[in-house]
Amino acid sequence: MWKYNDKTIRENKGWTDDNGVQHPRNWMVWSADEKAARGLTEITIQSKPDDLFYWVTGPNNDGSWTSTERAIEDVNEVDSNGNALLDEDGNQLVALGLKSQYISRTKSTQGSLLFQTDWAYIRKADDGTVIPTAIQNYRNAVRIAATAIEKDITDCSTMDEFKALFVIPVDSNNIPTGNAPIYDWPKGL
C-alpha cells in the first residue's frame, strides 16, 4: 500500500499531488528515490488477525489492523446506560458467544452427517430391512464425535483454549496427522 500525505495511492492508478500535478498510472516503475522525492511512502500491511476470533477493521494508515477479541461466552445485551435490552416478550437479549455458535454448528454438522444414512432407517420402517452394521457403526461414531467436540468447546475458558480447537495436529515433519479437534468427524462410508 502506498500513501501520499495520508491519502492511499493505488497501484496502476494515476493520482494528483497537492500541487495539481497529475501522475501517470505507471508510477510504480519509478525508482525508490523518485517515489520518495514525490512524497510517496510505502506502507507494509501487517498480517490481518483471524476474523474468526476477532472483530477486525482496517487496514489503518500505518498498515496495522484494529481488532477486538470476540466473546467466547454468551453476553447479555445492554443499552448505553447498562440497562438490560429485552425482546418484545420481556426476555433478556443475549449475544451468542463463540462457544454457543460452535456448539450449534456442531449439532448442525451432526444432523447433516446422520441425514446421509437416514434412508436405511426409513427402509427398515417401511419393509423391515435390516440396517447394515457399517451404517449403524458410522452413526454411532458421528454421535460420539459430536459429544466429544461439544465437550471440547464447553471446556474452553480462554480464547487461547478455543483457538487450539482449530489447530491441525502435525508430526515432527509438519505433516498433518489428523483433523483439528473442532472438525474431528469420522470419515464417511
User: Is residue 89 in a domain?
Assistant: no
Both 103 and 170 in one domain: the answer is yes
pLDDT at residue 184, as a whole number: 97
User: Is residue 139 in a domain?
Assistant: yes
**Which domain, by its residues, includes 119?**
97-183
User: Is residue 163 in a domain?
Assistant: yes
User: Is residue 10 in a domain?
Assistant: yes
Both 101 and 179 in one domain: the answer is yes
pLDDT at residue 189, as a whole number: 82
List pLDDT tens digits, range 139-164.
999 999 999 999 999 999 999 999 99
Both 103 and 34 in one domain: the answer is no
CA separation for the pair 156, 14 (Å, rounded): 51
pLDDT at residue 6, as a whole number: 83
List pLDDT tens digits, range 82-140.
999 999 999 999 999 999 999 999 999 999 999 999 999 999 999 999 999 999 999 99
User: Is residue 6 in a domain?
Assistant: yes
User: Is residue 67 in a domain?
Assistant: no
User: Is residue 153 in a domain?
Assistant: yes
For the entire predicted model, the pTM comes to 0.78
CA separation for the pair 66, 48 (Å, rounded): 9
Number of domains in the chain: 2
In angstroms, the Cα distances linking 39 to 23, 64, 136 are: 12, 21, 69
Both 178 and 115 in one domain: the answer is yes
pLDDT grade, residue 19 (50/70/90)? very high
User: Is residue 68 in a domain?
Assistant: no
CB 56 within 8 A of CB 47: no
Both 28 and 106 in one domain: the answer is no
pLDDT at residue 61, as a whole number: 84
List pLDDT tens digits, range 27-51.
999 999 999 999 999 999 999 999 9
pLDDT of residue 188 exceeding 90, the answer is no
